[in-house]
Structure 1
Amino acid sequence: MHDLSTPMKARQAPTASLAAAPHRSLFFAGTVAVLLAMTWWTLELASQRFGWVRWPQPTIPPVWGHAMLIQYGLFPPFMFGFLMTTFPRWMSGPAVPPLRYLPVAGGVLGGYVLAHIGLLGEPWLLKAGLLLMMAAYLLGVLTLAGVLYRAAARNQHGWSCFAAFCVGTLGLALFIAWLMLPGESPALGWLAVKLGTYGFLLPMYFTVCHRMLPFFSHNAAAGRGYVMRRPKWSLLVVWGLLVTHLLLEWGGQLRWLWLCDVPLALVFGGHALAWQPWKCMRPGLLAVLHLAFAWLPVAFMLFSAQDIVLAATGRYVLGRAPLHALAIGFFGSMLVAMVTRVTQGHSGRLLQMGAIPWLCFVLLQAVALLRIRAELGGDTYLWLVIAGTGWLLAFLPWVLRSAWIYLTPRVDGKPG
């Protein structure tokens, strides 16, 4: 009977598996976004480098389209999937039912696809896609709020992640308002882009790292004398410094950015050392978390150097190199590291990296360096096209492997 029933289970597995747990459908949406986002952007860059006159252009600045859809469409499905899985565990709250997380996955992904089609010279599709994403955001944030409201043990990590998603929802709303309201100041669009980086992704990522890196490290390296450190003050300090950074940029006071970026570099560097990476280089699944986090202080050291030179000489050096050390180096690498860990553990597999995740992670480090190199002179657009192509090559095997896992049942036969 078991052998006869197996084919039927296999035929039912893809849709049933996607609905089995929050991370499955949302991570699946994220893996599609990982490739779609950089496919459009690489082709857009290639059109500018090689003069493709027939390549359709967006009706908004291309770099804003890139920044908005990367920040509000690529990373958030993974973040929603992670939080809808971990929020109930962090705070002893109710589990999130499929009727809440499946529409979020479908809405973010569907809106993301429509918005990218809209970037090919169809502004009404861009607006429709962003509105669909906004509806999914609102449902997702309300769902997280419900878990918080009914939680038995609320904590600062839960509140911080929720606050970051509220800021992200505000940023997406501001960008939609800029698109929808004729004559509205482009400052709204600019603010939405900046909120995505400093008010949404960065506090979200740091909060998750603050909670999970010491926890994972202690579990794996306790026998090596590892001491788990989670300073309670640092989440509030980081939030305060990031809000200050946003206000200074909003007010055009770029010469004073060093006042917040230098302390941020010190805080992030201090955490990188406090989390004792030299004790956490095995197993590989733990090592990549620390290697990915190392990009965060590096990025803010670059920001700080840029700020100090600007304050002293009035020259803007390094271009977008610090931003992409943050975006590709930290956000991208931590995405691979954290999502691989969740995917392995929640599919009943061994907690190990494996060849394909390692290949993706290593190639992504090269992509980050290539993108930084593009800011240092020479044929900039050629370097950008190479970096974009490198992203696609790095992620393609990882995406295919991950998507297959989300579409199939757990290997240990357990639910979820």
Structure 2
Amino acid sequence: MRPDTGWRFNRLFDAPHRLAFAAATWMLMLISLWWAMVNLAGGEGVAMHWAMAPATAHSLLMTFGFMPLYFIGFLFTAGPKWLGRPAAAARDLLAPLAAQVVGWMVFMLAIHGRDPVFGQSVGAIGLGAVVFGWAGVIRRYLSMWAASRVADRVHPTVVAVGCVFGLIALAVAAAGVAMGDPPLVHGATHAALWGFVGLVFATVAHRMIPFFSAAAVPSLDAWRPLWLLWCFVAVFALEAAFAALDAVATIAPHSLQIGRAAAEGLTGIGLLALAVRWGLVQSLRVRLLAMLHLGFTWLGIGLLLSGVSHAVAAAGGAPALLGLAPLHAYTMGFLGSTMFAMVTRVSCGHGGRTLAADDFVWRLFWVLQLAIVARLVAAVLREASAAWSVALIAAAAVGWAGVCLAWGARYGHWYGTPRPDGRPG
């Protein structure tokens, strides 16, 4: 009798990463396709109904809509190993995952209603379900953390702090949607981009990138001093505070602008130097490793661009010389590329497949990089050439969506099929 190798829903319960990554990938594909259609419709002059500001909906979905779901898969796959605890059961995660996915479905229904009150009420209900689901995940993770007796719990602890901050920020954003207060939503969402999503990514990068690099390239060492992690924590906490301040202060004090520009510029240069120290050049020989390193490099680029933009503003120039270019270098570049690389690695390593980026994934990664560059150029051109800016934004959105759909289709299929090596998990 031939073994059943078809896609089966029940196989999502074979391992936590299968179930969580499947939910995350579904949301990533849906949100990316929605945003591409919004940009294409806008470029063609097609009017759409909006029950809330497009920027509000976009920022909430891109920050909280899929990244935390990927975190769940990682936390309950690597987390038990970090904490010396038994492996987690995927079925235990079903309820909080389902609450989040259903909540986002409700929220997306509210976005394009004709009545803003409908958008506020139904959108807040959807976000309330997401908050409930994420709280359930954090409760399970903190229980695992509290039961751990390993000596080194620094990285899991920083991740836990970031996740709790994300829960608080999401709850504040939900309240902002309910009250029709876009600045409150903006502040909470952008603070979470740094204090939650970015902090978790940077903590995992500090622990894993040097380790992966040394394992793949013998000439490299796994250099990751603990003080470097605390520098990461300080940088992301500072940027989260700046993001919250931007939402409530129309004009920051001049001295604060200068200090922010200097801090971001110097940090960006330091992070680019760190990328080289961690083996950026040597990593280019190993595709999967190169993807991780190039993703991390975008963090330094984003902060350096932000520092330049704030320096020009402090000197009396254009208040936002580079527009949203620094933000998208950070979000699409660092967060997007690192997500792409990390999820690919976990899906291969825990799916019984070769731990490598094949031609399909490698080409998709470079299409993603082109989409990032297009979005950055669009931000810089917004004043000089509005038509080109709109076209490039649409191209970036379509490129991002195309990559996510193709990438998601492959790995979404993997999560519901047996491991090719015949092992469980």
With the length of structure 2 as denominator, give the TM-score of the two structures: 0.90
- 208, 215, 222: which one aligns with 1:219: 215
Identity fraction in percent? 28
| Alignment counterpart, residue 327 of structure 2, candidates 323, 328, 331 | 323
1:141, CA displacement in angstroms?
0.6
| Deviation for aligned residue 1:159 | 0.9
The aligned residue for residue 141 of structure 2 is 144
Task: Quote the Cα distance in structure 2 between the aligned partners of 1:352 and 1:248.
Answer: 38
Q: Mapping of 1:11-410 within 5 angstroms? A: 14-53=8-47, 55-57=48-50, 59-121=51-113, 122-123=118-119, 124-153=121-150, 154-181=152-179, 186-222=182-218, 225-251=219-245, 252=249, 253=252, 255=257, 256-315=259-318, 316-377=320-381, 378=385, 379=387, 380-410=389-419
AA paired with 2:132?
A: A
Question: Once the 2 structures are TM-superposed, how far is the Cα of residue 390 of structure 1 from its aligned partner?
Answer: 1.0
Would you say the 8 A contact 1:111–1:129 is kept in 2? Answer: yes
**Helix, strand or coil: the match of 2:175?**
helix
In structure 2, how many angstroms separate the alpha carbons of the residues matched to 1:289 and 1:241?
Answer: 20
Q: Distance in 1 between matches of 2:240 and 2:288?
A: 34
Cα deviation per residue 1:365-410 (whole Å; 9 max; x = unaligned)? 0000110111122212222111111112222221111001001011
Asked if 2 retains the 8 angstrom alpha-carbon contact of 1:359 and 1:394, the reply is no
The answer to whether the 8 A contact 1:343-1:402 is kept is: yes
Q: Matched residues in 1 for 2:261 and 2:25: separation? A: 36
Contact kept, 8 Å, 2:56 with 2:182, in 1: the verdict is no
- In 1, the alpha carbon distance for the partners of 2:8 and 2:52 equals 37
- Give ranges in structure 1 of 5+ residues lacking alignment: none
Separation in 1, partners of 2:197, 2:29: 19
Answer yes or no: is the 8 Å Cα contact 2:16–2:73 preserved in 1.
yes
Kindly tell me: are residues 139 and 206 of structure 1, through their superposed partners in 2, closer, same or farther at Cα, counting changes over 3 Å?
same
Residues 154-208 of structure 1: per-residue CA shift (max 9 Å, x gap): 42111111111111111110011122347xx544212212222111111111111
SS of the residue 1:94 aligns to = coil
Q: Is the 8 A contact 1:242 1:260 kept in 2?
A: no
Q: In the aligned structure 1, how far is the partner of 2:270 from the partner of 2:156?
A: 21
1:356–1:397 contact (8 Å) kept in structure 2: no
Structure 1 pair 187/56, CA: closer, same or farther in 2 (3 Å)? closer
The Cα of 1:91 is off from its aligned counterpart by 1.9
- Residues 401 and 186 of structure 1, relative CA distance in 2, 3 Å threshold: closer
SS of the residue 1:52 aligns to: coil
Measure the CA separation in 1 of the matches of 2:59 and 2:182.
15
Secondary structure (helix, strand or coil) at the match of 1:258 reads helix
What one-letter code is carried by the residue in structure 2 that aligns with 1:210? H
Q: Provide the C-alpha distance between the structure 2 equivalents of 1:96 and 1:215, rounded to a whole number of angstroms.
A: 24
Q: Displaced runs of 4+ in structure 1, greater than 6 A?
A: none
Q: How many residues were matched structurally?
A: 404
CA contact (8 A) 1:336 1:357 kept: no
SS class of match (2:420): coil
The whole-number CA distance in structure 2 between the counterparts of 1:356 and 1:372 is: 25
Computed over aligned residues only, the root mean square deviation of the Cα atoms, in angstroms, reads 1.8
For structure 2, list consecutive stretches of 5 or more residues without a partner in the other structure: none
How far did 1:314 drift?
A: 4.2
Q: CA deviation at 1:133?
A: 1.1
Asked whether the equivalents of residues 238 and 264 of structure 1 are also in contact (C-alpha less than 8 Å), the reply is no
| Contact 2:192–2:240 (Cα < 8 Å) also in 1 | no
SS state of the match for residue 223, structure 2? coil
Structure 1 position 286, deviation (Å): 1.4
Alpha-carbon distance in 2 for matches of 1:115, 1:249: 24
Q: Deviations over 1:247-283 (max 9, x none)?
A: 3444433624214312431342232122122222233
Mean alpha-carbon deviation: is it higher for 43-52 or for 316-325? 43-52
What secondary structure does 1:85 align onto? Answer: coil
- Corresponding residue SS for 1:257: helix
